[in-house]
Amino acid sequence: MNFYKTFAFSSYLMALVGIISLTTAEGSLYLVILSSIAISIAYYLVELKKRVSIGKTFSIIFALGGIFFSVFDFLVISKSFVLSLSHLLCIIQIIKFFQKKEDRDYWQIYLISFIHLVVASALTTDISFSIFFITYLIASIWTLTLFHLKREAAGKVLGNEIINKFFFTNTAIVTLVTLIFTIAIFLVLPRIGIGFFKKSLKREKLLTGFAEETVLGDIGLILKNPDIVMRVELLIPKGPIANKLLWRGIAFDYYTGKKWKQSIYQKKLLTSDARGVISVKGSYSDSVKSQKENLILQRIILQEMNSNVLFGLDHIRSISNLSSGLKRIYVDYTNSISTTWPHFQMIMYDVASSTESEFIEILSEKELKPYLQLPKTPIRIKNLAMKIIGDENDPFQKAIKLERYLKFNYGYTLNLKRTPGTEPIEDFLFFQKKGHCEYFASSMVLILRILGIPSIYVNGFSGGEWNEFGAYYLIRQKDAHSWVEAYFPDRGWVSFDPTPSTGNSLFGEGIWGTLSLYMDSLQMKWDSYLINYNFEDQKRVAFKMQRQIKTLQSTTENVLIKLRNSFSILAQVFIKKIKYFLMPLTIILILFIAFLIIIKARKENIFKNLLKPLKEKTKIIFYNDMLKILSDKGFKKKPETTPLEFVSIIRGDKGIDFNQIFLVTEKFYKIRYGHKELLKSEETLIQQVLKKLRGLK
Amino acid sequence: MHLPRKLKFTKEGTRFVILCIGIGIAAINTGLNLLFLILAMMLSSIIISGILSEISLRKISVKRFHSSRGHAGDELTIKFTIENLKMFLPSFSLIIKDKSFEDLSAYITKINANQKITFPCKKIFLNRGLFELKEILILTRFPFGLFEKSSKILCQSKIIIYPRIKQINTETISLPKHFLQSPFNNLAIKNSDEIFHGLREYRLGDNPKRIHWKSTARFLKPMIKEFEKHQESNISILLDTFLVENNDQKQKEFLESAISLCASLANFFISKNYNIFFSAYTPQFTKISFAKGRDQLYRILETLALIKPNSSKNFSFLLDELSESQITGYVIAILLNVNQGKNKISAKINLPGTLLHTINIREHSVFNYFKIHQTA
């Protein structure tokens, strides 16, 4: 593959991933499409067709245009400095792609794409970021490696031998190893969370009905909103709960006739024990009748929202495992749990809740007084109350009767109509006879209070969609609900829900429904293990690893001891039984090994190579014989004398035939240096010469 | 032998680390785990960068081949052989730098496993002398150009650069004619230092190889060629290295010219098969006895290459050190100082059969070569 084409492609890919991650995190589809098209056009025209590259003047003009647009963006569109700056960087990056690029330009493009990724990480917590992250990692490794090679070559043309299958395989391995290191470092990096400028760039969800006061109708505003509020993983027990689920948020005691609010603005700061568990105990006064509790442990991942309320399954007993965003936890006199600030970013915490029937709170008359507050109530509501309870004397039964009455005699609707000149509750009870949960709950609280039963109006969420893949409940804004808590001296606070039930899963049916559930469970895991990974999780991981190492150590020791024992027994048996066969077995083993060696050596011509010098030595032995004969005759060849020099030295002396000696020497040269074979006739001749030499005196 | 690795940041690497710190601060401040993820990615790329650069440098053998001698002003080829001794993995982006030369470096984009690459570099040594070549530096900035990892390979060797040899302008040399020719005529025995003297009658014991057959046929009795040793085949070159002021640049230039002239003369006469004797203060008293051939030339050139000026012993001292047998035949004295009077030298070198020529570098431009005045 062409080096330069691959380099250009990976550079554009890296920039594209950066831009798409940013625009996707913003949730702006048109920006995703627009920027993708712009970069694709740039790649096509500039890199593939080599047609266009804009000059400096045009670049400046476009950049100025970009600056004006980003000012407009800051003031009107995004109204965020960071986002408008990111958009400006997008524009600059695209302009750079249309220019003729030098090394410095490439560095700027890569830096901008990195900034896009960083901004995207601050804007989103969606699992789609993981795909962008991994793609960016792959693209950046390719790009930076190729860019480095291109720079270092400094004008030298790089051939196609670099980009081959080996390069891509290696890059894939490098990416995988980098990812492993990334995860390891991520797990280990300390989570301190100083939090000077902690407000997230992400816009928190607007959630009405969970502030210090709520107007009748606030909950109704969000009952059509499918946005996810929280995910609740059931830790104990695992699996869906059969009972009706009421996720308690905030409670109100004072009704003005149109809105609910808290009469006493007083909160108690809760502290954690040595294990980091914050005990709520369910009572502002902390007095309890029974400690026997059957707890339900939930892990709640709460999305960012403009409320500081913490939710949990009714009745919340303790909170623990707080994510880094949670510092101070408060409880008020209505047992509503909250933090100092609204949740600017996603938070995670564990809640232990007990079933209401096993928990009893003791309250004095003075403490119960706010829960009996009534506004100016029309007489017919009081008459209705009497009519509903009939002869019933037991307060609890009265409440049950009232709950049933409202549930079965009034209809549910989100499309409210109002009768002019009437109070909302009066209108609901006597004219409209249908409404949503706020009206049902408010009506019940009023009537209970008329009957002298202390009660409060509670806002929270009800039900949720069970996701079997992740074993958690998904709660959306449309699950927002209002219900009633009534106090009975022998039962404590008991929840009543007079609203007729409604609601469908938004995940749908069939394969898409299943796929949606699965994707949401992945999102849940992403939120749980990565987005909300905190110091407590780090401690847990460290302890777990420590335990696993210890377990592994002891397991290994046990296995080794067992092995050792087994071997010693086996060895004893073996020695006893096999000692007679030891010798033959050893011989067979040696022979077998030798056989294998020979096969291998033959394969690699080792013997041939070993024998080669030996063969050669054998072939030239005649020359050594001749030297020996001559030495005996008094002609000793000195080591520094070459064979031919030796011939010339002994020339003509003592009757030695020079020609014969020369012939033998020549044949020696032929074999030794010419690596040739002697003919039969030559061998015969040599033998004759040697014979003659031996015969000389 | 490899020395330990060294690591340093490049410009981009410094910026990358600063960016890491910035992201780290942002992550710690906001507590956003995705920022921690990005920080972790950056830190792991630093680790990967270190691992890959180490793999690139590992098991790379660099060898330097060159001739052990050269001449000043001539191109010398230095060959580098780089071999990747790894079994499977290639190395990328290697820069080879020879620490002995600032401008000698090479870049290798990729070298496969078990591959050997050879590349020659040409280097001109302007000055004579002994050059010790030191270590070779091999470095890489692979894979991202953030850090530079280098390793030195000890690869010591020496090159002796001989003085510049130039052709002698024989027209400017006022030498007896026979000095411009080979001292041997056709009748000389090969590799003999004798010259044909005449013919005489063969006597018992004479070497029969010296029988001159033509004369024998003419005189009808065996006639043999007679040779005598050619004393005039000896040439002594004496070099004055005395500098009054060692730091004087002009004097040093004269010395260099004198050395170059010495080398050129030695080369010229050895090519004519003369016996050459050489002596000078280097700064110790040095003499190279009479000999001929290329070996003798290289001995003289090697001495000339390593000569350092001396500021204590002038030419007279040199003459005093020499014996009569060492200043016979043709003596060429190359002088640096004007005060070395020719008569003074002649008085010292006054043997029968000795011919003295002086070349005073200060008086005669070396570019004319051997514009010398023959003395009696």
CA-based nearest residue in chain B for residue A147: B144
CB atoms under 10 Å from CB of A613, counted, come to 9
pLDDT tens track of chain B, all 376 residues? Answer: 566 788 999 999 999 999 999 999 999 888 888 999 999 999 999 999 999 999 999 999 998 888 888 888 888 888 889 999 998 889 999 999 887 877 778 889 889 999 999 988 888 888 899 988 888 899 999 999 999 999 988 878 888 999 988 887 766 555 555 555 544 443 344 445 555 667 888 887 787 888 888 888 988 888 888 765 544 577 888 888 888 776 778 888 888 888 988 898 899 888 888 888 899 988 888 888 888 888 889 999 999 999 988 888 888 888 778 776 666 677 888 887 765 555 666 666 666 556 666 666 666 555 555 433 333 3
Centroid of chain to Cα B132: 11
Q: What pLDDT sits at residue B184? A: 40
Rounded Cα distance between A694 and A625, Å, is: 10
Q: What pLDDT sits at residue B257? A: 85
Predicted TM-score (pTM) of the model is 0.68
Peptide bond into A226 cis (omega under 30): no
Which is nearest to A479 in space by CA: A499, A495, A465? A465
Which among B36, B95, B141 has CB closest to A189?
B36
Six-digit token pair at A526? 């992403």
Q: What pLDDT sits at residue B371? A: 36
Q: What pLDDT sits at residue B188? A: 40
When scoring A3, A117, A119, A121 by the number of chain B Cβ atoms within 10 A, the one with the most, hence best to mutate, is A121
Q: CB of A268 within 8 A of CB of A332?
A: yes
Instruction: Please give the ipTM for the structure prediction.
Output: 0.72
Rounded mean pLDDT, A668-673: 82
Q: What pLDDT sits at residue A16? A: 93
CB atoms under 10 Å from CB of B86, counted, come to 18
Find residues 336-375 of chain A whose CB sits inside 8 Å of chain B. 345
Which is nearest to A322 in space by CA: A272, A250, A281? A272
Q: What pLDDT sits at residue A182? A: 95
B144 φ, ψ (degrees, to nearest 5): -110, 0
Rounded Cα distance between B222 and B213, Å, is: 8
A513 φ, ψ (degrees, to nearest 5): -60, -45
Q: Note whether A192 contacts B: Cβ–Cβ < 8 A.
A: yes
Cβ separation of A122 and B35 shorter than 8 Å?
Answer: yes
Which among B29, B44, B143 has CB closest to A195?
B29
Q: How far is CA A157 from CA A3, A6, B143, in A?
A: 9, 14, 19
Q: CB of B69 within 8 A of CB of B106?
A: no
CB atoms under 10 Å from CB of B214, counted, come to 9
DSSP states of A613-655 as a string? Answer: HHHHHHHTHHHHHHHHHHHHTT-PPPTTS-HHHHHHHSTT-TT
Q: Note whether A137 contacts B: Cβ–Cβ < 8 A.
A: yes
Q: Is residue B148 within a helix (H) or strand (E), and if so which, with residue range?
A: strand B147-153
A296-315 residue pLDDT tens: 899 999 888 888 899 998 87
Asked if the model's pLDDT at residue A456 lies above 90, the reply is yes
For A245-360, list the strands marked E by DSSP.
246-252, 254-255, 259-261, 267-270, 278-279, 295-302, 312-313, 316-320, 329-332, 337-339, 347-354
Strand A267-270 with A329-332, pairing: antiparallel
Chain A residues in contact with B19 (beta carbon < 8 A): 114
Which is nearest to B361 in space by CA: B277, B235, B244, B250? B250
Which is nearest to B38 in space by CA: A118, A194, A111, A135? A118
Chain B residues in contact with A124 (beta carbon < 8 A): 34
A338-354 residue pLDDT tens: 888 887 778 889 999 88
B53-76 residue pLDDT tens: 999 999 999 988 888 888 888 888
When scoring A145, A158, A192, A536 by the number of chain B Cβ atoms within 10 A, the one with the most, hence best to mutate, is A145
Asked if the model's pLDDT at residue A654 lies above 60, the reply is no
Q: Which residue has the tokens 């041939």?
A: A608
B277-327 residue pLDDT tens: 899 988 888 888 888 888 889 999 999 999 988 888 888 888 778 776 666
HSE toward the beta carbon, residue A233, CA cutoff 13 A: 18
Q: Note whether B141 contacts A: Cβ–Cβ < 8 A.
A: yes
When scoring B10, B52, B108, B109 by the number of chain A Cβ atoms within 10 A, the one with the most, hence best to mutate, is B109
Residues 6+ apart with CB under 8 A from A526: A125, A127, A130
Asked if the model's pLDDT at residue A43 lies above 60, the reply is yes
Q: Is residue A565 within a helix (H) or strand (E), and if so which, with residue range?
A: helix A535-578
Q: What pLDDT sits at residue B373? A: 37
Six-digit token pair at A448? 């209970």
Chain B residues in contact with A145 (beta carbon < 8 A): 142-144
Asked if the model's pLDDT at residue A12 lies above 80, the reply is yes
Q: CB of A500 within 8 A of CB of A407?
A: yes
Chain B residues in contact with A7 (beta carbon < 8 A): none
CB atoms under 10 Å from CB of B25, counted, come to 13
Q: CB of A17 within 8 A of CB of A116?
A: no
A610-627 residue pLDDT tens: 666 656 566 788 888 888
Q: What pLDDT sits at residue B187? A: 39
Asked if the model's pLDDT at residue A427 lies above 80, the reply is yes
Q: First vs last Cα of chain B: how many Å apart?
A: 62
Find residues 221-280 of chain B whose CB sits inside 8 Å of chain A. none
pLDDT confidence band for A146 (50 / 70 / 90): very high
How far does B146 lie from chain A, in Å, by closest CA? 9
Rounded mean pLDDT, A18-23: 92
Rounded mean pLDDT, A414-442: 85
HSE toward the beta carbon, residue A675, CA cutoff 13 A: 2
DSSP states of A144-184 as a string? Answer: HHHHHHHHHHTTPPP-TTSSSHHHHHHHHHHHHHHHHHHHH
Q: Is residue B95 within a helix (H) or strand (E), and if so which, with residue range?
A: strand B91-98
Six-digit token pair at A22? 């940013």
Number of H helices, E strands in chain A: 21, 20
Chain B residues in contact with A179 (beta carbon < 8 A): 44
Q: Note whether A186 contacts B: Cβ–Cβ < 8 A.
A: yes
A229-248 residue pLDDT tens: 999 988 888 778 777 788 99
Residues 6+ apart with CB under 8 A from A237: A296
Surface-to-core class of residue B54, CB atoms within 10 Å of its CB (0-12 exposed, 13-18 middle, 19+ buried): middle
Inter-chain CB pairs, A–B, below 8 Å:
127
Cβ separation of B41 and A133 shorter than 8 Å?
Answer: yes
CA-based nearest residue in chain B for residue A197: B30
Rounded Cα distance between A213 and A251, Å, is: 9
Q: CB of A459 within 8 A of CB of A480?
A: yes
Rounded Cα distance between B334 and B329, Å, is: 16
Q: Is residue B255 within a helix (H) or strand (E), and if so which, with residue range?
A: helix B249-271
Surface-to-core class of residue A461, CB atoms within 10 Å of its CB (0-12 exposed, 13-18 middle, 19+ buried): buried
Which is nearest to B225 in space by CA: B274, B186, B179? B186
Q: Is residue B117 within a helix (H) or strand (E), and if so which, with residue range?
A: strand B116-124
Q: What pLDDT sits at residue B11? A: 92
Name the strands in the sheet holding B136-140, side by side, starting at the edge strand that comes first in the sequence. B6-9, B147-153, B136-140, B91-98, B105-111
Q: CB of B304 within 8 A of CB of B263?
A: yes
Chain B residues in contact with A191 (beta carbon < 8 A): 31, 36
Which among A137, A152, A161 has CB closest to B141?
A152
Q: Note whether B20 contacts A: Cβ–Cβ < 8 A.
A: no
How far does A193 lie from chain B, in Å, by closest CA? 4
Cβ separation of B30 and A129 shorter than 8 Å?
Answer: no
Rounded Cα distance between A658 and A661, Å, is: 5
Rounded Cα distance between A490 and A394, Å, is: 11
Q: CB of B127 within 8 A of CB of B161?
A: yes
Chain B residues in contact with A185 (beta carbon < 8 A): 39-40, 43-44
DSSP states of B99-112 as a string? Answer: TT-TT-EEEEEEE-
